[in-house]
Amino acid sequence: MGKPTGFFEYDRILPARRPVSVRLRDWREVYEPFPEDEAVRQGARCMDCGIPFCHEGCPLGNLIPEWNDLVFRGDWPEALERLHATNNFPEFTGRLCPAPCEGACVLGINADPVTIERIEYEIAERGWGEGWVTPQVPSVRTGKSVAVVGSGPAGLACAQQLARAGHSVVVYERAERPGGLLRYGIPEFKMEKAVLDRRLAQLRAEGVEFRCATAVGSPDDASESEASEPGQRRGLGTASAPEVRVVPASSLRTEFDAVVLAGGATLPRDLVVEGRHLDGVHLAMDYLKPSNLVREGAFETAPITAHGKRVVIIGGGDTGADCLGTAHRQGASLVHQLEILPRPPDARLDDNPWPTWPLILRTSSAHEEGGDRIYSVTTTRFVDDGKGAVRALAGHRVEARTEGGRPVFEPVPGSEFELPCELVLLAMGFSGAERRGVVGELGLDVDARGTVACDANWQTNCEGVFVCGDMTRGQSLIVWAIAEGRSCASSVDRWIMGDTALPAPLTPGQLALR
């Protein structure tokens, strides 16, 4: 604690967002620069709380009070060292994490919490800007090798930890370039891809090899799995994408000492209603990935565009907000975002006390840019324009009640409506790991949630094959993915070498309790 009275003296302040009229003209990140002296004052707000519950809120166990204090004292290099001690990619979480640490901040009991996420961002960016982030090449090589399947945040964190332990690491990615949802799901206005590419360059310098456009799994299963990739449905076209090579999972088990699966929870949750087949009704990732590929230069124009269209987004989470911001930048004429749940409250309710995650209304930069959010509604059908395309969404309002601990939604009589639209985006989340490809070939156990099962050491029922991230946890947050990737790397290292010096934030059992 650098300043005992800091939380009395300074208010919570975040950087300003660029004006909506300006930022909708480009795809750059939305925030203005944050002055260093303001970051120092925000660090001073971290109080001597005795028990830092922010540690409990953060799956990585980030040393938050330590680097807040170091920022206040102006020791930015040491703050970066403390940040990297628990988090491989603070520049990612500083942009994309919803900050459960702030929900658990003791100051948040009766005041605005410390701006933990923004301070994390400022430390990371200061480190990159000053050249303090350099490759950490191991002095000794073990002669052991590990294959990591999937290059999202879990796979990247696991790969980096194992490479630093001295193992040879090869990351397999079926998409054109590494990054997973960081590249193909997250729009540029939330994280510019240069931020990802500079970290990938560090991993390569540390010895990590990336084999992209390579699917792992038996040829028949892998080809079916690839058919669900954005850009290959409904003739969207992939002329700019390289041909995907198929590697049997059995060959990885033979070639490598261990295999880590970090392929994510990529099965989209669909909406089976009348008219689902109509042109203009798309899954969110079928829309977001090609849009991001335009930014990458792989497409000249997006094969699915909101330009001049009335758009309806079904789903009120982060993916829905990503679709919303993308539709604004493509020039949608009108956007509605539908959510079956009731509107969240503006502040914590009595049954949602600190330090639990605050279930309150959140407004992202995309919501600030326009569009209407409609709560407590469900879709009954999509209306045909007579030519095989959608012209409207039909639905009705619902009332929610709890039955057996689960929400039940009852239709409100007389509340039927039609919402005119030419584009519908289904952003209702994901239902687990793909059963084809590597999961099917290796005969991996899948639990009731549709995710790959593992033991307390992240190992599947197939010896030497480990799993981490959304593939075993289910759809979750980037901070969980990094935490699981780090923990899995520790278990893999121990399994190969008999012992490990790699840190492990949590075991699968501990993670499940949070």
Query: Model confidence over 299-343: pLDDT tens digits?
Result: 889 999 999 999 999 999 999 999 999 999 999 999 999 999 999
Task: Provide the 3-class DSSP secondary structure of residue 264.
Answer: coil
Cα(514)–Cα(498) distance, integer angstroms:
29
Equal fold, 145-267+431-512 vs 281-426:
yes
> E strands of 315-460, at which residues?
334-339, 372-375, 377-384, 390-403, 406-411, 417-420, 423-426
Quick: pLDDT tens for 10-22.
Answer: 999 999 999 999 9
Indicate whether 2 pLDDT > 80. Answer: no
Give the torsion sign (CA, 256, 262, 263, 265): positive
Tokens of 32: 């203005």
Sorted by where each begins, the domain ranges of the chain are 6-130, 145-267+431-512, 281-426
Cα(514)–Cα(510) distance, integer angstroms:
7
Cα(489)–Cα(75) distance, integer angstroms:
30
- CB of 370 closer than 8 Å to CB of 383: no
Quickly state the pLDDT bin for 505 (edges 50, 70, 90). confident
Cα(238)–Cα(240) distance, integer angstroms:
5
Write the DSSP string, 304-319. S--TT-EEEEE--SHH
Q: Which residues pair with 398 in a beta bridge?
A: 411
Q: What is the 3-state secondary structure (H, E, C) of 159-190?
A: HHHHHHCCCEEEEECCCCCCCCHHHHCCCCCC
Across the range 284-289, mean pLDDT stands at 97
Quick: pLDDT tens for 373-424.
Answer: 999 999 999 999 999 999 999 999 999 998 888 889 999 999 999 999 999 9
pLDDT for 3 equals 85
Cα(153)–Cα(184) distance, integer angstroms:
13
**Dihedral, CA atoms, 308, 312, 318, 322, nearest 10 degrees?**
-10
Across the range 65-91, mean pLDDT stands at 97
From 51-60, 191-200, 283-292, 368-377, the region with the lowest mean pLDDT: 51-60
Tokens of 41: 């004052």
Quickly state the pLDDT bin for 292 (edges 50, 70, 90). very high
Instruction: Kindly report the CATH number that applies to the domain delimited by 6-130.
Output: 1.10.1060.10
pLDDT for 227 equals 37
Instruction: Kindly report the CATH number that applies to the domain delimited by 281-426.
Output: 3.50.50.60
Indicate whether 72 pLDDT > 80. Answer: yes
- CB of 207 closer than 8 Å to CB of 200: no
How, if at all, do strands 406-411 and 245-247 pair?
A: unpaired
pLDDT for 355 equals 92
Quickly state the pLDDT bin for 234 (edges 50, 70, 90). very low
Place of tokens 């909406």: 271
- CB of 202 closer than 8 Å to CB of 177: no
Cα(496)–Cα(493) distance, integer angstroms:
5
Quickly state the pLDDT bin for 218 (edges 50, 70, 90). confident
pLDDT for 132 equals 98
288 burial level (CB within 10 Å; 0-12, 13-18, 19+): buried
Please, what CATH class does the domain formed by 145-267+431-512 belong to?
alpha beta
Instruction: With CA atoms as reference, report the closest residue to 354 among 55, 57, 99.
Output: 57
Across the range 141-167, mean pLDDT stands at 98
- Average pLDDT for the chain: 92
The model carries a pTM of: 0.93
Quick: pLDDT tens for 178-217.
Answer: 999 999 999 999 999 999 999 999 999 999 999 999 999 9
Indicate whether 487 pLDDT > 50. Answer: yes
